[in-house]
Every structure is written in C-alpha cells, then in structure tokens.
C-alpha cells in the first residue's frame, strides 16, 4: 500500500456503522463498533428501529459500558430490529458524557442521527433552532443535524411528499445544505423503517454491498466479516441504503456514483486500514488531521476560535512572557512554536521540558502564560508543571488531543488538536497537529494584542489550509525514503542537523529513530557542529540535513548548505531535505528528499514527515515492533 492511496478513506475521530437487512441489526452494529475499538473512544451508542419506535442506548466510556447497558434489554425490540446505526465517539464538541454520546434524537424522537466530523456553523444553527422553541439535550454540534433533518421531514410531509426512503433522502439533502464543515451523517427515521440515509462531506464513508442487506461505515473493517464488496462515497454525496438497494446522489439530488472496490485485506489488517502498522496509518492520516485541527478556527469576524476559553482578551493582552511546557515530541512542537510566537507576537517565549520546569523555580506570575502541550492530556510531568504554574498564579492554556483529559480540565483555556486517536506509541499526527495548534495560539495572541491585523492572520491561516494538499503530494513520493531506510538499517549511528525551525525537526527525527529503531541518533543545531559534534563524523556516517527555504532568510539557508559541505568534507553521507526547486543543494546531497514549498515558519509540517517514515521503515527493516517499541508506553502517567 502506498502512502497516498487511502488517506481519503481513512477513518478519523468517531467510528460509524449502519445496517439494514433481515438479520437482527444490533449484534452486527456492535461487532462493527468492536472492530473500530482500536481507535479508542470515549463513548458509544446505538439506535435500532423496531416497528414504530427508535430505540437508543448510549454510554460514556468504553464499548463494554454500552454492552452492559444493552445486556439488560435482551427482551425488548432493540435486540431484534433489523435497521440500526451505531457510533463510537472521539469527543470534539461537548465532553465525553452519556448525554453527549451519539445517537442524537430529534425533539419528537422519530429521528436518530450519528455524526463524524465537525459542523463549523453549529453555534449559529443552534441559536436559530432554539429560537423556534426546540430544546437541546446535549452540547454537541451533531444535535443540530437531528433537529434540522426533523424540520425538513416535517416540511416535506406537509407539502405532500409521500412517506418512504426517497423522501428521507431528500430530507437529508436539504438538511446538509445548511451545514458547513466536515461531516459524515447517518440517520434513521421511524417512518421509514427499512432504510438508513447518509451524507458525506470531508469525512470518510464507505458502503458495504451485501445480499439482501447493506452496510455503511467510516471504515471497511466494520463490515469486512459480512462483505468484501464496497463503495467509497465521493465528496458531497448522499447515499440511501435499503435491504435491496444502494442509491447515491449528489447534494442537489442528481444521480451519482461512488468508487466500487473489492477489499482484499483480511480482517486483522482491516483495523489498520490495510497498513502494516498503525504508525504508517497515522502518518497517512496527517493531511486530514491538520485539516480537522484547522476546521472552524476562524470566526466570521476573522478571529481565531479556541475551544474552551476561561481567559479574557485582556488577560492575553497582559501576558508579558510565554512558557511552553511539554515532553518528548510535544516538547519539539513547543520548540517550533517559540520561533513563531516570538516572531508574530514579540512576546518572549521559553520552551521548557515539563520534567525540569518546576524544579528550577521558574519566575512566574499573573502575566505569564504557560502553554502545556500534550497529546494524551495525562502526562504526569506536564500535569505537575501545569499545577506548579497555577500555584504561582500563571495562566495556563492547554493544547491537547484528548477531550476531557486531566491537563485540559485543569487549564484556563484549551485548544484541542482534532487529530483523532493516536494508537502507535511514537507520536506522528499528534506532532503535526500540535504545531498547527501552536501556530493558531501565536496568531491569536498577536491578534488580541494588536500586533497583527485580522487579514494578516487570515493570510497565515490560508497558507496553513493549503498544507494538507501539499502533504498529500509529499506522502505520494516516499518510495525513495523507504528504499533509503532499507539501506540505512545497519548503520551504527545517524546524525540530524538543522537550523531555526529545522533544529527541532532534527531533534524529532533523531528521537523517532532512537525510540523505534533502537539506534544511536542525535540531533544538533547545525551551527553547533563545529563546537564539538563534528568529531563524530566518520567515513560514511549518515547525516540528515534539514535545509531552510531559500525564500525565507537566504542567509540561514546558505549557512546550512555550508554546514552540509563541512560534514561532507569529513566523509559524511548526506541525506538532504530541501524545498522543491532549491537546486543549489543538489551537488551536496548523496540523497535528496524534496518537500513542497512552504513558508519558513510552517516548514516543519513538511520536513518532519520523511523523518517519521525513515524511522518507521528502518525499525521495520530491523524487525522491531513499530507500534509498541520496547520500554515505552503511550501515556506516561508517572513522574
Ligand atoms: C515520542 C512520543 C513521546 C510523547 C511524550 C509526551 O514519539 O510520543 O515523546 O510525545 O511522552 O506525551 P504527551 O503528548 O501525551 O504528553
């Protein structure tokens, strides 16, 4: 499988399953949810149509909680109905609680909806719907879709449309025309018991074609036990499944077709989306993870929107110093952030290993902003640093990928990275989304302090929005890196050098190689080489060199090129990561890895990716467990 092949069909965030046929739907949907369990989730729920009722059950926590609740309901229709939808949630809007778990019902209880993605205009829609007297029962953006669909179905019935699947599909088309953002929506309606309708925009959805039964899912693994014939929905399509049919239209109602394919993986590979390792899958998910993290961040007024803000703009204007605290890969994201935050805001910014922070007695007060960066939100070192900062009256802002975890709960403000669950121990998509979140915080600070205009902020955001496409292009050209990895697998050491934002990228490249391939690897600031580390260079020593864009500060790029010449002169084998079109580096590169052009401060979103792949492939070539390297755990909850 190539890296670009399946980014569009990869699951992210929530898991979705739908079934319509002749068999009891509940067990099929629960099996599907179990297959999606590897993605980790914080709540799960199902809705089953039985005769004239939509029966739902939903629970916060693991799937086992839902299964326990369902065990008491064996005698009711939920166990026998043959149309159902099911959902595992990775919380975005609204914490991981029973009431926020999906499905969400319309006010009259006739319709149930599940959703993957983020509805960007949800606060406007919610206000509009509430103004009509509807009461919301959750904090989710999804509930808007349930109420909108119910309103459209009422309007269609009132205008004389016949009951039936076609009207349900039309209701869905009308409802989604009101939504902005990313969504896969699945809905069932008690008036149309033998149908499930779904819509897709910017979020994955596949159809499984069975005999006398059909399936919907965010990932084929959910139905691979039952059928291997699948259809990938295109952008902005609505699909209606009934026991005997699959009808696809575009959002305007014109007939459309999805991409049919045969699934040739076995069930065990399916949960990894056909990839050999979760890490490779998560690397491939990065374009989508970045796009999701950016979704809904610019308000109509052009302000950057954080998720939970218990800080006023005045608090942010009063900030006179920023500390970023984090561990490991998250710390490297913080190092990149320092360059961006200082450049955009002109506020001094320090980056500190969380495990060191409180022991050196940092100078903190009310006007210090501490940014705690953590994928898991549970890293004890980062949590203790945060608590120390709070005791000293500093304000704390969390960047986190796990909704409802301890670090965001204890912070004054939160910006969630919407990267979806990261299963591989080595952090990849969390890193890139942490970078995006850090950029957004830098821009937000610059904006509220009046050092950047809204249009300047929007220009950077628009460059950020172009990075997913550039990254997809890059991921499509990684064959040479894989070949290089096989070649380097027996090296005794690999060194990494970079300058400016390329320096943390060098550190990150070395960390990945150490933790996955168990090889000696070191990252250096390129300018530091001559102060000692250059003595390590021997004949054939591989040195990965991260070259800044010539379009940024030309002098910086030229200095790195000189550093490459220095190591080459001492026998190094150079692996050069440079921007497309930077022909001046070709002569100094034993291996050239070109990345798409990106503004200087955003370059780590590109340059890190070949290093992730290099480490992953070297580890695999050395026969190591890529997803679970020795001695490491995904969440480090001890100091
Ligand atoms: C390396 C890696 C770790 C984590 C670090 C912090 O690939 O994953 O270095 O970045 O343990 O974890 P979080 O971000 O959960 O606080």
pLDDT, one tens digit per residue, over 277-309 is 999 999 999 999 999 999 888 887 778 888 777
Task: Taking the CA atoms of 78, 79, 85 and 86 in sequence, report the sign of the dihedral they define.
Answer: positive
Check whether residue 202 and residue 251 sit in a common domain: yes
| Chain centroid offset of residue 573 CA | 35
CA distance 447 to 433: 21
Check which CATH number belongs to the domain holding 611 and give it: 3.40.50.10490
Check whether residue 446 and residue 508 sit in a common domain: no
How many angstroms separate the alpha carbon of residue 578 from the centre of ligand 1?
Answer: 27
**pLDDT band at residue 40 under the 50/70/90 scheme:** low
Determine the structural domain holding residue 267 and report its residue range: 92-271
How many angstroms separate the alpha carbon of residue 326 from the centre of ligand 1?
Answer: 8
Check whether residue 229 and residue 352 sit in a common domain: no
Check whether residue 317 and residue 221 sit in a common domain: no
Q: What is the pLDDT of residues 539-573, one digit of tens each?
A: 999 999 999 999 988 899 999 999 999 999 999 99
Residue 327 Cβ < 6 Å to ligand 1: yes
Check whether residue 360 and residue 408 sit in a common domain: yes
CA distance 13 to 97: 16
DSSP state string for 205-273: -EEEE-SS-EEEESSGGGTTTT--EEEE--TTEEEEEETTEEEEEETTS-B---EEEE--S-HHHHTTT
Check whether residue 445 and residue 324 sit in a common domain: yes
How many angstroms separate the alpha carbon of residue 332 from the centre of ligand 1?
Answer: 10
Ligand 1 pocket test target in 278, 353, 375, 504 with most atoms within 8 Å of CB: 375
Q: What is the pLDDT of residues 312-333, one digit of tens each?
A: 999 999 999 999 999 999 999 9
Check whether residue 384 and residue 450 sit in a common domain: yes
How many angstroms separate the alpha carbon of residue 509 from the centre of ligand 1?
Answer: 14
Token pair belonging to 268: 């065990």
**Does the pLDDT at position 12 exceed 70?**
no
Residue 376 Cβ < 6 Å to ligand 1: yes
Give the total number of structural domains in the chain: 3
Q: What is the pLDDT of residues 173-195, one digit of tens each?
A: 999 999 998 889 999 999 999 99
Check whether residue 446 and residue 483 sit in a common domain: no
Check whether residue 615 and residue 581 sit in a common domain: yes
Does some domain include residue 481?
yes
| Chain centroid offset of residue 268 CA | 23
Helical residues (DSSP H) of 72-197, grouped into ranges:
122-130, 142-158, 165-176
Does some domain include residue 583?
yes
Does some domain include residue 258?
yes
Does some domain include residue 629?
no
Ligand 1 atom nearest 430 alpha carbon: 14
Does some domain include residue 513?
yes
Amino acid 89: pLDDT = 87
Q: Which residue reads 């070192």 in tokens?
A: 381
Check whether residue 140 and residue 287 sit in a common domain: no
47 touches 104 (CB < 8 A): no
Angle between helices 429-448 and 604-621 (to 10 degrees): 160
- Strand, coil or helix: 591: strand
Token pair belonging to 272: 């990894």
CA-nearest of 481, 442, 483 to 461 is 442
Ligand 1 pocket test target in 283, 330, 373, 374 with most atoms within 8 Å of CB: 330
Check which CATH number belongs to the domain holding 140 and give it: 3.60.20.10
Does some domain include residue 216?
yes
Q: What is the mean pLDDT of the chain?
A: 92
- Strand, coil or helix: 286: helix
Helical residues (DSSP H) of 346-449, grouped into ranges:
354-357, 380-391, 406-409, 429-448
Q: Which residue reads 């490249």 in tokens?
A: 509
φ, ψ at 470 (rounded to 5°): -60, -40
Whether 634 is catalytic is yes
**Does the pLDDT at position 435 exceed 60?**
yes
Does some domain include residue 638?
no
Check whether residue 175 and residue 313 sit in a common domain: no
Check whether residue 125 and residue 253 sit in a common domain: yes
Does some domain include residue 50?
no
**Does the pLDDT at position 11 exceed 60?**
no
């Amino acid at each position: 499988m190539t890296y670009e092949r399946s980014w569009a069909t990869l699951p992210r965030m929530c898991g979705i399953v739908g079934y319509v046929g002749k068999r009891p739907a509940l067990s099929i949907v629960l099996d599907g949810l179990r297959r999606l369990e590897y993605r980790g989730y914080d709540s799960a729920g199902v809705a089953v149509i039985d005769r004239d009722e939509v029966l739902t059950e939903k629970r916060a926590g693991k799937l086992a909680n839902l299964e326990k609740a369902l065990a008491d309901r064996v005698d009711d229709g939920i166990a026998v109905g043959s149309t159902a939808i099911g959902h595992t949630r990775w919380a975005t809007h609204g914490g991981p609680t029973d009431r926020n778990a999906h499905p969400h019902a319309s006010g009259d209880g006739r319709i149930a909806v599940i959703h993957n993605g983020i509805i960007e205009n949800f606060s406007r829609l919610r206000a509009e719907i509430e103004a009509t007297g509807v009461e919301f029962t959750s904090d989710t953006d999804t509930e808007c879709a349930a109420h909108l669909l119910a309103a459209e179905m009422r309007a269609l019935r009132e205008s004389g449309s016949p009951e039936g699947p076609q009207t349900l599909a039309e209701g869905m088309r009308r409802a989604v025309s009101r939504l902005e953002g990313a969504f896969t929506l699945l809905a069932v309606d008690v008036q149309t018991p033998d149908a499930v309708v779904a819509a897709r925009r910017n979020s994955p959805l596949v159809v499984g074609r069975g005999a006398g039964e059909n399936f919907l899912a965010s990932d084929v693994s959910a139905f691979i036990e039952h059928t291997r014939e699948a259809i990938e929905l295109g952008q902005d399509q609505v699909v209606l499944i009934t026991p005997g049919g699959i009808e696809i239209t575009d959002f305007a109602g014109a007939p459309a077709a999805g991409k049919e394919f045969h699934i040739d993986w076995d069930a065990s590979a399916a949960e990894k989306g056909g990839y050999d390792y979760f890490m490779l899958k998560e690397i491939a998910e990065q374009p989508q993870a970045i796009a999701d993290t950016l979704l809904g961040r610019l308000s109509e007024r052009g302000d950057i929107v954080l998720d939970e803000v218990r800080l006023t703009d005045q608090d942010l204007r009063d900030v006179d110093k920023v500390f970023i605290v984090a561990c490991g890969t998250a710390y490297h994201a913080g190092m990149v952030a320092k360059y961006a935050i200082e450049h955009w805001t002109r506020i001094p910014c320090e980056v500190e290993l969380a495990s060191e922070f409180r022991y050196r007695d940092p100078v903190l007060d009310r006007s210090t902003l501490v940014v705690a960066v953590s994928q898991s939100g549970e890293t004890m070192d980062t949590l203790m640093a945060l608590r120390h900062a709070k005791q000293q009256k500093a304000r704390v802002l969390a960047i986190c990928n796990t909704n409802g975890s301890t670090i965001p709960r204890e912070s004054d403000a939160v910006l969630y990275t919407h990267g979806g669950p990261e299963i591989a121990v080595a952090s990849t998509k969390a890193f890139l989304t942490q970078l995006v979140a850090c950029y957004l915080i830098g821009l937000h600070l610059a904006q509220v302090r009046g050092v950047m205009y809204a249009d300047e902020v929007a220009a950077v955001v628009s460059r950020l929005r172009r990075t997913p496409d550039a990254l997809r292009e890059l991921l499509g050209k990684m064959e040479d890196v894989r070949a290089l990895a096989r070649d380097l697998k027996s090296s005794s050491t690999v060194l990494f050098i970079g300058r400016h934002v390329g320096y943390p990228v060098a550190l990150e490249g070395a960390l990945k190689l150490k933790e996955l391939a168990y090889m000696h690897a070191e990252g250096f600031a390129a300018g530091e080489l001559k102060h000692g580390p250059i003595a390590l260079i021997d004949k054939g020593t591989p040195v990965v060199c991260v070259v800044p864009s010539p379009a940024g500060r030309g002098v910086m790029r030229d200095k790195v090129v000189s550093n490459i010449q220095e190591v080459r002169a001492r026998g190094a084998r150079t692996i050069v990561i440079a921007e497309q079109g930077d022909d001046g580096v070709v002569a100094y590169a034993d291996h050239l890895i070109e990345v798409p052009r990106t503004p200087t401060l955003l370059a780590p979103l590109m340059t890190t990716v070949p290093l992730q792949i290099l480490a992953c492939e070297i580890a695999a070539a050395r026969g190591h467990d890529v997803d679970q390297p020795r001695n490491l755990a995904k969440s480090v909850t001890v100091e």
